[in-house]
Structure 1
Amino acid sequence: MKKIYMYILAALFISGNYGCKKFLNQVPDDRLTFDESFATKSTVDRLLANVYSTLPDEMQQRFPANGYTAGPWTGASDEADYTLPSSFSNNLNSGNWDATTGQVNTIWQLYYRGIQASSNFIANVDKCTDCNVSGTDYINRYKNEARALRAIYYYYLLRQYGPVVLLGNNPIPADAPIESISIPRSSFDECVDYIVAELDAAAEGLPALPTANEDYGRINKAVVHAYKVQVLLTAASPLFNGNTDYATLVNKDGKQLISQTYSAAKWSRAASAAKSFISTYPNFSLFKKVHPTAPSVFNNAFVACRDVMLTDWNTEVILAKPNGDVTNLQYNMTPNHSNGSGSDKGGSFLSASHQLTEAYFMANGKPTDDNSSGYTRTGFTNFQAPDDNAQRSVHNMYVNREPRFYVGITYTNRKWINPNTTLVTNFEFNGNAGRGGISNNDYSSTGYTQRKNRGLSGDGGRTSVMIRLAEIYLDYAEAAYEANPADPDVLTYLNLIRDRAGIPQYGSAAGMLPVPADLRDAIRRERRVELAFESHRYFDTRRWKIAETTDRSILGLDIGRNAATGFYNIVQQESRVFEKKHYLWPIPNGEVQKVPLVIQNTGW
C-alpha cells in the first residue's frame, strides 16, 4: 500500500507538468519549491485541475484504466458486447481476471492518488498569496471543492471494491514508514458515514450552482448533494444492506465489514436525500424540446431524450465533464459502413444486446413481454423512424416502439444519423455493415449498435454527462418505494420520466396504464432504459444482486446470415462467466501483500 502514497506527490506534479523533475531531485530545497508551487493563483488553479483529473471520463471506455479512471462498464454489463478483442470488458465477461490483473490495480491506485492529491491540496492551498480576487477569497472555495472530490473518489472505490481504507484528512508524507500507514479496511457503514459527512461539510463552503461560465464542470452544492444521493442509495441496496454472502468478510480483529442486519432506515435516508435535492434545486428540470419539422408528443419526446445527452449544460445536467473527446466513443458506435466515409464509417465495437432492445417499451407504454403490447418477433412493416425522411421496410421488432428505443439503438434498415448522407445501415451478413464484407473484428456481433450519445458527423468535443435530473428522480422513486411502497411520490416521479419519454403514465385516469402489480420491477425497468449506456446498468445489477441472472449471456441476431436465411433469429452471441465473487472487484494483490491488515474480498 505504501506504493499508493509514494506515487501521490509525484503524480500531482507530473500530470500537471509543473517542473516536477527538478522538484523531485532537490534535496533539501524541495520544501521551498513545494511552497512556491502554491504561492500563486495561476499555479493553484492548475493543481486543483489536477485533483479534478481523477474524475472518470466514461467516453473513454474503449481503453478502460489506461492511465485514467474510465471503466469497462457498458461492455461488462448486459447492455452491450464490446467486440474489440483487447477490451478489458471481455476479460471480465470471460472470468479471465483476478487480484493480479493490471486494471484492478490501476483503478485502485488512481483513486487513491486522487484522494492523496486532494489532501495535499487542502493542506497547502493557504500558502496562496493572491487568491483573493476583487474581494472573492478563492482559498475556502477551492478547499471545499477538493474536499468534496476526495469524498467522491472514496465513493467510486466503495461501489467497486466494497469497504476501503480511510486515510484520514491529512496527507500522508511520501517517506512515511510502512508501519505508520498499515491501516485496515473500515466497515462499509463507516465509509458511508465518512463520505456523507465530508460531502455535507464541503457543501457549506460552496456555491449552490454555477455563477459564471467557468464554473460549469466544477463542484458545487448541487453536485455534492447529488453524489450524496448516489452514496446513500448504494448503501441501502441489497448488495450492502444485510447481505449474508459477506458474513465472513471480517478484519483480522473480527470487525464485520458489511453489516449482516438489513436496515429499512437506509432506504428512508436515501429517499430523504433525493427528495431534499429535488426541493432544494428547482433550477433543474427535465429537458424538453420540440421536434423541428414534425412536432408531436412522440417526436418531441424523441428529440428531447436524444438531445439531453448532446446539448451541453441543458436544464437537466447536474454535472458533466467538460470538453470531452468523443472521437473514440463515436467511432465505437458507428457501423462499419462499406459505402461510408469519414466519420460515417466506424468500428461497430459497441454492439447493443438484444436483451436491451427488448427492454425498451412499446409506443403504448407496455413492456414487450406483455402479451397485449403488440410486440412480435416476426414479419416486416413499412415504418418511418422519427429521425428519418421516408418509410422503410423494417422488422416488426422495431416497429411502434417508444421514442427512447429509436434514440438508443441502430438496427438494420435504419437511416444513419448524419442527415447529409443517404446511408441506410444493414447488419445482415452481406449488408453494408455486415460481417461478410469485414475482414477483422470491426463488425457488430449482435446486429445492433449503440446509438445514444452519438452526435452528428464531425462532432469534436462536448461535455460528458455524469449526473442528470432523471437519475435523481429514479433514485427517489426507488428509495421511496423500498422505504414505503404506498408513498404516492413513487408514481409521481416515475410518471415524470415516462411523460418526458412520450409514453403513457401509470394510474387510473383516462389514457393511463394500470399501476403494475410489481412496482419495484417497473421502477427497475424504467431505470434500465432511461439511463441506458450511461454507466449505471453495471452497478445497478450488482447492487440489486441480480447480475448472476442478467450477466450470463448476450443475445443478438444471427449475423452470419441474411434476412432470407435467418438473420433475424435470436441467438446467444456470447456466454459469460459470473460468480458471486464478481459482485465486488478484488483488492489488488500487491496491496494485500504489502499491508496484511487489508483483507481480501470474499471469494478472491
Structure 2
Amino acid sequence: MKNKILYLFVSALVIISCDKALDITPDGRLTLEDVFKDEHQTEAYLNTVYSSIPSYSYYYHFFTYIAGVTDECQDAAVGNTPGNIANLWITGAMTPDFNPLENGPGGHGKKHYDTFWAGIRNANVFLENVETANIPNDKNRERYKAEALILRAFYYLELIKQYGPMPIVTKPFGPAFDYTTLIRPTFQECTDFIVNDCDEAIANSYLPLRITLEPERGRFSKAVAYAIKSQALLYNASPLWNPENSTAKWQAASTASEEALSKLTDGGEYELFPDYEQYFFSSSDINPSPRDRETILEIKATGHPSFRNTNALPSMPGQNNAGITPTQELVDSYDMLGTGEPAILGYNDEDHLEPIINTNSGYDPANPYDGRDPRFYATVWYNGALLDNIAGKIHVVETFLGGADALKKTPPNKNNTHTGYYLRKFHDPKLQNGQNAQSRWKKYHLAEIYLNYAEAENEANGPTVEAYNAINKIRERVGMPNLPAGLSKDEFRKRVRNERRVELVIEEHRFWDVRRWKILDQTDKLVTGMEVIKNGDNFEYERFVTERRNAWQDKFLIFPIPIKDTSIIPDFNDNQNPGW
C-alpha cells in the first residue's frame, strides 16, 4: 500500500479539448498544481475519485457472482474450472497473501483492498485542493466537495466491511510520511468518520437529493449519503462489531434509517418500484419524473454498458455456462403466499436433508414449488417453470433426471445445474439469445433501507409498529401477507433476517450479512440441492448435499490484512485480524 499511496498517477487526467491539448510536464505528467489551476482538469480529477468504484455483479471472475460462495447459490464452475473463485474459496484457500475473490480475469477494481485505498487517496487529494481550485462557480465547488466526501465515506465503508477498522486518513501522504505511525482505530471510530462525512454532505445545500439529468447519471447524491450512513450504522450495531449488544448502537442505526426513509420518501421522491421482477430488468430512467423511484445508485461496469443476457438453461441455444445455481437452502427460505408463513422452519440434521416442515403454512412436499412467495418465481428457475422465449416458444423447464435442463451430479459440468435450479433474477425472458439486458447493478435502493430500519428498530426497541410497518411495506409490494402480530423480539429478528435474504438475494448482501450476524458457521458449511425423478406424470423429490465447504470458521468473518502492509506497518502486524 505504501507505494500505491505515495505515487499519484495522473495519466487519466489528461483531457484533450477540441482545439488544444493541455500542457504537460516533460515526463508526460501533470503536476497537482497544474491540475487544480484548470477547471476542466479539476472536474477530471473528481472523475478519478469516482473511478475506484468496482464493477461488482458477475465481474469477480468470468460471469461469477460472489453469491456462488454463499448459501444462496453454488457455482457451476466448481469441479470444472480450477481457477474459478468458488473452487478456491470453498477449500479455505484464502491467506494474507492470497484472496480467492481476486483470482483470475474479472471486472474493474476487483482487488478491493488496493482499489478502495486508491479511492480514499484520490478523495483526500481532491478535498485538500478543492477550496483553492479554479472553479468559477461556487455552487459547483460546494457540490464537488460534497460528492468527494460521500465517495470517501463509500470507500471506507466498503473497506472496513471486508477488512475491519482501517486507519482514518484525511490528508494525502507526503513523500516523508512515516507509515510506522499508522494505528488501527476501533470500528466505532471508523463508523463515526463515515457518518460525519455523510452528514457534512447531506448538509450541503447544493447537493441534490436525487439525480434528475441523464448526463449526471452515476453522480453521488444526498440519497447515496443517507444509504451509506444507514448501512454503516447497521454494521456497527451488529454482533460482529457490537459484542456487548449496545442498545445505543442499535438506536443510532434505527434513527439514521428512519431519517433516511423520511427524507427520501416524503414528497414521493423515492418509492418502491411496483414490480419486483421487472425492477431488475432495466436501468433507472434519469429525469425529473422517473418511473423508477426506487434506485439510489446504479453501478455501470467498466467495459460493459449493461448486464449481459446470459443464458441459464442447457436447452437455450448457445448456452455454455449455467453460472451460479440457487441452493435448496435459498428455495426453503421463501414463505407461502396464502398464509405468509415459513414453509420450512429449519432442519433436523446437520446435512439439511430432513427439513422441519411448518404444517400450518400450507406447504406440500409433493408439490414444493406451489403457492410460494412471488419473489421465488422472480428469482429461481425450477422444475416445471415456464420460460416463454426459446426460439419463440414456451419452454417448460425440465430439471428432472433425463430432462432437457437436467441436474448433472457426476461428472459435474458447467452447463447444467448442480443443485436442481437455475438463476432467473436479472434474466429477462423476453430477450432473444445474445441480446443485452439494459440494466445496471443496483448498489443501493430503497428496499434495503426499509430492511435496515426494521432490523435496527427491533433490536433497539423490540418489534414496534414502526418495525412492522417497514417490513410489511416490502412484503406488500409483492402481495405477501403482513407478518403476524405479537411476534417476540427473537421471532421478529428471524423473520426480518429471512426477509432480507429473499428481498436482496444475489445482491451481495448475504455474503456480508452472515458475517456481521456471526452465523457463518451455521450457513456456510454445506449447501444442498433437489434431485427430481419423473415417474409417469408424477415427480419425486430427494434432497442431497451438493457441496461441502471449508471457509466457515470464525477467521473468515473478516478478511486478513494483506501481508504487503503488515510488513511495513507495525500496528497492522501486531493487530492482524483474528485467525490470520
Note the alpha carbon deviations across 1:406-450, whole angstroms, 9 max, x for none: 001011232226384433332334322335699842221101112
CA contact (8 A) 1:316 1:469 kept: yes
SS at match of 2:571: coil
Which of 237, 243, 250 does residue 267 from structure 1 map onto? 250
Matched, 1:491 2:468: yes
CA contact (8 A) 1:326 1:459 kept: no
2:397 counterpart letter in structure 1: T
SS at match of 2:196: helix
Matched, 1:377 2:353: no
CA contact (8 A) 1:355 1:555 kept: yes
SS at match of 2:502: helix
CA contact (8 A) 1:104 1:587 kept: no
Which of 254, 258, 263 does residue 280 from structure 1 map onto? 263
Equivalent positions of 1:283-298 (< 5 A) are 283-289=268-274
Matched, 1:140 2:142: yes
CA contact (8 A) 1:104 1:585 kept: no
Note the alpha carbon deviations across 1:56-88, whole angstroms, 9 max, x for none: 332234428xxxxx9963112110012223322
CA shift, 1:221, in A, is 1.1
- Give the aligned partner of residue 107 of structure 2: none
Which of 88, 108, 117 does residue 112 from structure 1 map onto? 117
Matched, 1:403 2:405: no
- Give the aligned partner of residue 395 of structure 2: 423
Equivalent positions of 1:207-222 (< 5 A) are 207-222=208-223
1:207 counterpart letter in structure 2: P
CA shift, 1:553, in A, is 0.5
How far apart in 2 are the matches of 1:23 and 1:581?
51
- Give the aligned partner of residue 201 of structure 1: 200
- Give the aligned partner of residue 383 of structure 2: 412
1:281 counterpart letter in structure 2: L
CA shift, 1:522, in A, is 1.1
Task: Return 5+ residue gaps in structure 2 as ranges.
Answer: 17-21, 103-110, 285-291, 345-357
Give the stretch that moved more between structures: 91-100 or 471-480: 91-100
- Give the aligned partner of residue 471 of structure 1: 448
> Relative to 1, partners in 2 of residues 1:102 and 1:519: Cα closer, same or farther, differing over 3 Å?
closer
TM-score by length of 1: 0.80
Matched, 1:37 2:35: yes
SS at match of 1:585: coil
CA shift, 1:155, in A, is 0.6
Equivalent positions of 1:576-587 (< 5 A) are 576-577=549-550, 578-587=552-561
CA shift, 1:505, in A, is 0.9
How far apart in 2 are the matches of 1:49 and 1:432?
48
- Give the aligned partner of residue 368 of structure 1: 343
> Relative to 1, partners in 2 of residues 1:126 and 1:417: Cα closer, same or farther, differing over 3 Å?
farther
- Give the aligned partner of residue 452 of structure 1: 425
1:432 counterpart letter in structure 2: A
SS at match of 1:166: coil
- Give the aligned partner of residue 188 of structure 2: 189
> Relative to 1, partners in 2 of residues 1:459 and 1:238: Cα closer, same or farther, differing over 3 Å?
same
1:459 counterpart letter in structure 2: N
CA shift, 1:34, in A, is 3.7
2:548 counterpart letter in structure 1: S
Note the alpha carbon deviations across 1:127-175, whole angstroms, 9 max, x for none: 654x44xx663222112211210111011111111111222x21113x3
Note the alpha carbon deviations across 1:219-247, whole angstroms, 9 max, x for none: 111110111000000000001002xxxxx
CA contact (8 A) 1:586 1:601 kept: yes
How far apart in 2 are the matches of 1:536 and 1:400?
26
- Give the aligned partner of residue 589 of structure 1: 563
CA contact (8 A) 1:411 1:425 kept: yes
Which of 37, 58, 61 does residue 60 from structure 1 map onto? 58
TM-score by length of 2: 0.83
- Give the aligned partner of residue 86 of structure 2: 89
2:73 counterpart letter in structure 1: A
CA contact (8 A) 1:83 1:441 kept: yes
Note the alpha carbon deviations across 1:333-367, whole angstroms, 9 max, x for none: 61232xx325xx35111111110011011111111
1:424 counterpart letter in structure 2: V
- Give the aligned partner of residue 105 of structure 2: none
How far apart in 1 are the matches of 2:202 and 2:473?
28
1:402 counterpart letter in structure 2: D
1:373 counterpart letter in structure 2: S
> Relative to 1, partners in 2 of residues 1:532 and 1:467: Cα closer, same or farther, differing over 3 Å?
same
> Relative to 1, partners in 2 of residues 1:452 and 1:72: Cα closer, same or farther, differing over 3 Å?
closer
2:258 counterpart letter in structure 1: K
Matched, 1:550 2:523: yes
How far apart in 2 are the matches of 1:475 and 1:439?
39
2:343 counterpart letter in structure 1: T
- Give the aligned partner of residue 161 of structure 1: 163
Note the alpha carbon deviations across 1:28-57, whole angstroms, 9 max, x for none: x95x64433344444433332222122233
How far apart in 1 are the matches of 2:210 and 2:307?
31
- Give the aligned partner of residue 321 of structure 1: 299
> Relative to 1, partners in 2 of residues 1:235 and 1:220: Cα closer, same or farther, differing over 3 Å?
same
The number of residues matched between the two structures is 526
1:278 counterpart letter in structure 2: L
- Give the aligned partner of residue 79 of structure 1: 72
CA contact (8 A) 1:336 1:442 kept: yes
Note the alpha carbon deviations across 1:200-230, whole angstroms, 9 max, x for none: 1122232222242333321111110111000
Note the alpha carbon deviations across 1:527-561, whole angstroms, 9 max, x for none: 111111111111111111111101111111238x7
Matched, 1:482 2:459: yes
> Relative to 1, partners in 2 of residues 1:39 and 1:336: Cα closer, same or farther, differing over 3 Å?
farther
- Give the aligned partner of residue 350 of structure 2: none
CA contact (8 A) 1:557 1:571 kept: yes
CA shift, 1:26, in A, is 4.5
- Give the aligned partner of residue 382 of structure 1: none
1:191 counterpart letter in structure 2: C
SS at match of 2:66: coil
How far apart in 1 are the matches of 2:419 and 2:11?
42
CA contact (8 A) 2:180 2:571 kept: no
SS at match of 2:439: strand
- Give the aligned partner of residue 347 of structure 2: none
SS at match of 1:423: strand
Matched, 1:359 2:343: no
CA contact (8 A) 1:548 1:580 kept: yes
How far apart in 1 are the matches of 2:308 and 2:579?
34
* C-alpha RMSD of the superposition: 3.0
How far apart in 2 are the matches of 1:576 and 1:329?
29
How far apart in 1 are the matches of 2:44 and 2:535?
56
2:373 counterpart letter in structure 1: E
CA shift, 1:183, in A, is 0.6
